[in-house]
Amino acid sequence: MSKPLDYENLNENVKKCQYAVRGELYLRASELQKEGKKIIFTNVGNPHALGQKPLTFPRQVIALCQAPFLLDDPNVGLVFPADTIARAKHYLSLTSGGLGAYSDSRGVPGVRKEIADFIERRDGYPSDPELIFLTDGASKGVMQILNSIIRGEQDGILVPVPQYPLYSATISLLGGSLVPYYLEETANWGLDIVNLRESVSQARSQGITVRAMVIINPGNPTGQCLSEANLKEVLQFCYQNNLVLLGDEVYQQNIYQDERPFISARKVLMDMGGPISKELQLVSFHTVSKGYWGECGQRGGYFEMTNIPPKTVEEIYKVASISLSPNVPGQIFLGLMVNPPKPGDISYERFVRESKGILESLRRRAQIMTDGFNSCRNVVCNFTEGAMYSFPQIRLPPKAIEAAKKAGKVPDVFYCLKLLEATGISTVPGSGFGQKEGVFHLRTTILPAEEDMPPIMTSFKKFNDEFMEQYEDYRGYSRM
């Protein structure tokens, strides 16, 4: 007799969901690593795993918060600068019970206040700490909000394609419907409002109630940065169609061009004024995992709610309470992120040196990678305007597609597996993010150390060009 936790008896939504970032490619890479092969894990935006050093200042503060007994140690000044000691005392004073006590389920009130102040400085409009909830990474916040929205499979969520699979996986898990809208690869992965309209009409004709729209800005995996004009269109579109907008802005500090600096959906909404600015429902997400922090393992995130009524906020609070409290060290990291050292602070110069160093290097790496891909046979790649990824299109020859079919693999999975075996480069096939029928991509992060970039690109080029050589027959390519 089959048992309750046998595969056939599991919740179908659990079985249905897909999560490519840690999918077949990642599992194979982990196996190869166990067998002793050197793997370059560019499957996930995980900077410290690829050697990025943590910023010194926040780590000093958090170390002191974890060891509050050091604050009375006469030798503490020998290893910790005075401003880190002051900051640690400050954050401990905001908690009741230090890092070992559950906080309020929404997060430590004082940290939420610091985030509200940051948002106000960034956007020029006040923000209410009561509408900011801290979470164990932005992922958990996204899941919580989608859980509040999705009532069943008739509820649709507009998600960009290609998209970060957190969205597709969570929508499956919650039993909702993903309504795709395609980003335009030929327009540097821009968001075209005409595509959006079509997606919504099509979903409606299938009986789906479209309830929310997700934007990822800067984009993952595409790296595009949305313009103010584009954001305005999106907001208007959501307003006309009665959608709540979920603004995934976790890469807001990762910008590698100067024409379109980051602008938050919330600022654009407030700038618009009028009824829309008082009515449109918006939830914005941020994290300590990205930017020049890259503190992924700490799991610190938040979401800010705009125009969400108090009764709903209460319900979201109640659900957050079930798991008691987001981790408190991650909350302190958020406080530090929105409140970095200021000019005149002892740690200021070092902090600026470290953070600038990381950002400038990321910008150079984005360029090296784009150029590298574009020098390869049958590969075309948009420039990474922001975020941490490169998403080249791989024009697979028909013979390669046939070979993949024979091997029982999706064509881009086939390509990426061969790349992994040949070079140790662990990427994610485009099919994990969604792409147009018959078009193939892969995603890689731009995170390997700068000095490792040229050899990685050389190794990629060698593999790719040989692969193309092997499968190309000059009869044609997969279409763009």
Q: Give the strand order in the sheet containing 428-429.
A: 389-390, 442-445, 428-429
Size of the site for ligand PLP (CB under 6 A): 15
Residue 221 engages a second copy in binding (rule: CB under 8 A) = no
**Beta carbon of residue 363, minimum distance to ligand PLP (angstroms, whole number):** 18
Each residue 284-303 as x (binds a second copy by CB under 8 A) or -, in order, gives -----x----xxxxxx----
Q: Which helix (H) or strand (E) holds 210?
A: strand 209-216
* Cβ within 8 Å of residue 131, ≥6 positions away: 304, 305, 306, 308, 313
For a second copy, the closer CB: 263 or 413: 413
d(CA 419, CA 66): 43
Q: What angle do CA 149, 151, 154 make, to 5 degrees?
A: 110
318-347: which residues touch ligand PLP (CB under 6 A)?
Answer: 324
**Contact residue for a second copy among 29, 119, 169, 231 (CB under 8 A):** 169
Among 115-123, 132-140, 151-159, 360-368, which window interacts with ligand PLP (CB under 6 A)? 132-140
Give dist(CA 368, CA 426) in Å, integer.
18
Piece of 63-71, 419-427, 433-441, 448-456 that binds a second copy (CB under 8 A) = 63-71
Closer to a second copy by CB, 299 or 365: give it: 299
Within 201-220, the residues that bind ligand PLP by CB under 6 A are 216, 220
Tell me the window of 217-225, 328-336, 427-435, 464-472 that interacts with a second copy (CB under 8 A): 328-336
Under the phi-then-psi rule, with left for phi > 0, alpha for psi from -120 to 50, and beta for the rest, what region is 311?
alpha
Answer yes or no whether residue 44 interacts with a second copy by CB under 8 A: yes
**14, 8 contact by CB (below 8 A):** no
Task: Restricting to residues 285-304, name those near ligand PLP by CB under 6 A.
Answer: 287, 289, 296, 301
Query: Could you say which of ligand PLP, a second copy, none residue 220 binds, taking C-beta under 5 to 8 angstroms by partner kind?
Result: ligand PLP
Is residue 248 within 8 A of residue 214, CB to CB? The reply is: yes
Least Å distance, CB 254 to ligand PLP, is 10
Contact track, ligand PLP, 28-67, x by CB under 6 A: -----------------x----------------------
Amino acid letter, 136 = D
| Of the residues 28, 32, 66, 227, which one makes contact with a second copy according to CB under 8 A | 66
Distance of CA 301 to the CA centre of its chain: 11
Distance in Å, CB of 420 to a second copy, minimum? 17
CA-based end-to-end distance of the chain? 51
Residues in region 110-139 near a second copy by CB under 8 A: 136-137, 139
Binding of residue 137 to ligand PLP (CB under 6 A): yes
> By CB under 8 A, is residue 446 in contact with a second copy?
no
Size of the site for a second copy (CB under 8 A): 101
> What mask of x and - would describe binding to ligand PLP in positions 238 to 267, judged by CB under 6 A?
----------x-x-----------------
Could you tell me where the DSSP H helices lie in 375-408? 398-406
Tell me which of a second copy, ligand PLP, none is bound by residue 327, counting a contact when its beta carbon lies within the kind-specific cut-off of 5 to 8 angstroms: a second copy
Residue 169 contacts which entry, ligand PLP, a second copy, none (Cβ below 5-8 A, type-dependent): a second copy
8 Å CB contact between 305 and 72 = no
Q: How far apart are CA 27 and CA 426, in angstroms?
A: 10
Residue whose CB is nearest to ligand PLP in the complex, by number:
137
- Please report whether residue 326 would count as binding a second copy according to CB under 8 A: yes
Three-state SS string over 102-135 comes to: CCCCCCCHHHHHHHHHHHHHHHCCCCCHHHEEEE
Check whether the bond before 165 is cis (ω within 30° of 0).
no
**List 64, 119, 334, 456, residue binding a second copy (CB under 8 A):** 64
> How many residues are given for the chain?
480
Q: Which residues pair with 101 in a beta bridge?
A: none
Q: Which of 257, 133, 147, 256 is nearest to 211 (CA)?
A: 147
Check residue 345 and report its DSSP letter: S
49 binds a second copy (CB under 8 A): yes
- The tokens describing 76, both together, are 């503490």
Residues within the interface to ligand PLP (CB under 6 A): 45, 137-139, 164, 166, 216, 220, 248, 250, 287, 289, 296, 301, 324
